[in-house]
Amino acid sequence: MTDLPADTPSAAQVGQTNAERLADALMEEIRNGLIADDAPMPSERDLCKRFTVSRPTVRAALMQLQARGYLSQEANRRPRAHKPTIGRVFQAAGAGLSDVLGLVEATAYMDQLRQFIEVGAVRQAAQEASNLQLAQIHRALERCYAALSDDTRFARADADFHRAIVAVVQNPIILELHDRFVFDMVASRPTSPERVEMNRQSYEEHRQIYEAIAASDPQAAMDIMDRHLARAYRNRLAKPARLTP
């Protein structure tokens, strides 16, 4: 393990504070396995002694690790190291979106992003889906049909159908983004007496999307997906309150 600070800082270290340099050193140790994934971090006292820095410097460095997904902090427990994953990055980002934008606006933006992702993904699926990928989409479609009368199961099957299409793109960032937000969107649909009928409408649109993919018709698949997602978003919006005389 190398000590901090270096006698001759690298070009990347010039202008950094001790907290930033300490954070970089600890992140490097987590990446290289010198601090194991999910292991407790060394105590503040040990870090102060080892790196010859103050407690405020150590705390500032640990805050940087947490912000970048290298550390988890729980009450009454020592912070634990984490190798960053795409999922953890999006989890931190998702929590911040609602704080910055507000829940309703953040949801609207994520729905717009979902539409860009899925319309693009369905085009690629219609052009490039393998027999195996087509079978996975079809199997998800069958689960939607089997769950029509059970809204909880249908919500899961609905999300799985869309995920099977996005998976054709084989982009881990896009798939993680989809996994992180889409199921919550689907599951947050308001209940209503017409829920089963709405599920039937969604299933019928899913069936049309699948048939367009199977027919290698990207334009039809994109058009149907675009209408399907726009309708699904409208259905999730709360009805405005009526004015009373």
> What distances in angstroms separate CA 19 from CA 29, 81, 206, one per listed residue?
15, 17, 52
Q: Give the domain-ending residue among 84, 110, 136.
A: 84
Under the banding of pLDDT at 50, 70 and 90, the label for residue 14 is very low
Name the phi and psi angles at 34, rounded to 5.
-70, -30
The distance of Cα 154 from the centroid of its chain, to the nearest Å, equals 21
Under the banding of pLDDT at 50, 70 and 90, the label for residue 121 is very high
Phi-psi region of 200 (alpha: psi -120 to 50; beta: other; left: phi over 0): alpha
Q: Are residues 26 and 124 in the same domain?
A: no
Prediction pTM value: 0.64
Average pLDDT over residues 40-60: 93
Share of the chain above pLDDT 70, in %: 76
Q: Are residues 127 and 222 in the same domain?
A: yes
Q: What is the pLDDT of residue 5?
A: 47
Q: What is the mean pLDDT of the chain?
A: 82
Q: Are residues 205 and 153 in the same domain?
A: yes
Share of the chain above pLDDT 90, in %: 48
CATH assignment of the domain containing 111 = 1.20.120.530
Answer whether residue 7 is part of any domain. no
CATH assignment of the domain containing 49 = 1.10.10.10
Quick one: which of 244, 232, 225 has its CA closest to 107?
Answer: 232
Across 10-14, 146-150, 170-174, least confident range? 10-14
Q: Are residues 112 and 68 in the same domain?
A: no
Q: Are residues 47 and 140 in the same domain?
A: no
Answer whether residue 107 is part of any domain. yes
Quick one: which of 18, 46, 22, 33 has its CA closest to 82?
Answer: 33
Average pLDDT over residues 78-106: 66
| Contact status, residue 199 vs residue 207, Cβ threshold 8 Å | no
Q: Residue 150: which residues within 8 A CB-CB, separation 6 or more?
A: none
Answer whether residue 11 is part of any domain. no
Q: What is the pLDDT of residue 73?
A: 78
Answer whether residue 214 is part of any domain. yes
| Contact status, residue 119 vs residue 219, Cβ threshold 8 Å | no
Comparison of pLDDT for 48 and 71, the residue scoring more:
48
Answer whether residue 229 is part of any domain. yes
Average pLDDT over residues 95-118: 68
Domain count for the chain, please give it: 2
Across 58-72, 80-94, 96-110, 175-189, which has the greatest mean pLDDT? 58-72
Answer whether residue 192 is part of any domain. yes
Interior/surface letters 44-54, b for 16+ CB within 10 angstroms, e for the rest: beebbeebebe
Give 202-241 pLDDT, tens digit per residue. 999 999 999 999 999 999 999 999 999 988 777 666 555 5
| Contact status, residue 213 vs residue 167, Cβ threshold 8 Å | no
Q: What is the pLDDT of residue 21?
A: 93
Q: Give the domain-ending residue among 66, 84, 102.
A: 84
Q: Are residues 143 and 31 in the same domain?
A: no
Q: Are residues 97 and 204 in the same domain?
A: yes
Average pLDDT over residues 173-187: 75
Q: Are residues 138 and 163 in the same domain?
A: yes
Q: Are residues 110 and 37 in the same domain?
A: no
Q: Are residues 53 and 98 in the same domain?
A: no
Q: Are residues 190 and 219 in the same domain?
A: yes
CA 111/CA 116 separation, integer angstroms: 9
Q: Which residues constitute the domain of residue 183?
A: 89-236
Q: Are residues 57 and 127 in the same domain?
A: no
Answer whether residue 202 is part of any domain. yes
Q: Give the domain-ending residue among 56, 84, 112.
A: 84
Q: What is the pLDDT of residue 12?
A: 46
Answer whether residue 52 is part of any domain. yes
Assign 3-class secondary structure to 82-102: CCCCHHHHHHHHHHHHHHHHC
Assign 3-class secondary structure to 189-208: CCCCCCHHHHHHHHHHHHHH
DSSP 69: T
